[in-house]
Amino acid sequence: MNRTTSSEILDQLVTSYLKLPVRVFWTGGPLFAPGGDTFDDARLEFDGIATSWMNLQHVILHAEQVKVIPGLPVKIKVSDPRIEIAVGQSELDRWIKRFEIPFRLELAENGLIVHTEVAGFPIAEFETRLEVVGGWFVLKPQKASFLGMPGYVSSFFRTYLPLPPLSEETHLSAIEHEPGLLKLTFSTDDFEEEITPGLLARMRRRLLPMFGKMPGGVFKPD
């Protein structure tokens, strides 16, 4: 992957257009070289994004190829679009507190640990995996302990997270668990968009429909 001086110019142009700090990466030659209207393995990286539902540590837009189509207005054609969002433990803790969820979630290496307490006394601990069922985000237990002892209580536990559902056009394609960090990758169909005012909002509705339905519905810097 080439990260060239010319890409810094594109960083500034895209940042100015979107009114959000962004870094631009792609594979190939300099921006203004012959054939420079096609970008392979393209990536836009945003840091510290806040939404009306949950703050995100970063958002990365991937595409196998982005082609700029001249005209009035100019268009972009995006092939194999994907979007990665990352949530850290501190962002998750604020979200749980805001929605008054009756358990604590810990981002662990192999999944999410659900801690339940009564009056500060630990009752049960579940190791769960995040799944999408009918478009909704669900925590599915893997194993659990009850009052410190292994048990079958996890078989009775399945909870939907209070997040808007995915659209039919968007699919959860990958989940990565790390200590203190959760990464989700979503994919959707190829598309074309005009480079006109409102581009970011239209791309958000296409690539992040779960946040497109949020009240206030816009990205804003954290």
Q: Contact, 117 vs 123, CB < 8 A?
A: yes
pTM of this prediction?
A: 0.76
User: d(Cα 19, Cα 17) in Å, to the nearest integer?
Assistant: 6
pLDDT at 146 over 60: no
Q: Which helix (H) or strand (E) holds 183?
A: strand 181-187
Q: What is the mean pLDDT of residues 140-157?
A: 57
In the prediction, which pLDDT does 99 show? 81
The residues, any chain, with a CB within 8 Å of residue 99's CB and separated by 6 or more, are: 162
How do residues 84-142 score in pLDDT, each as one tens digit? Answer: 989 999 988 988 888 888 888 899 988 888 887 766 666 677 788 888 888 788 888 77
pLDDT in tens, 5-19: 346 766 677 767 666
Share of the chain above pLDDT 70, in %: 71
Strand segments, DSSP code E, in 51-120 are 56-69, 75-88, 104-107, 112-118
Give the pLDDT score at 4: 44
**Averaged pLDDT, 54-83:** 88
pLDDT band at 2, cuts 50/70/90? very low
Q: Band of the pLDDT at 34, cuts 50, 70, 90?
A: very low
Question: Does 78 score more than 80 pLDDT?
Answer: yes
Contact 110, 143 (CB under 8 A): no
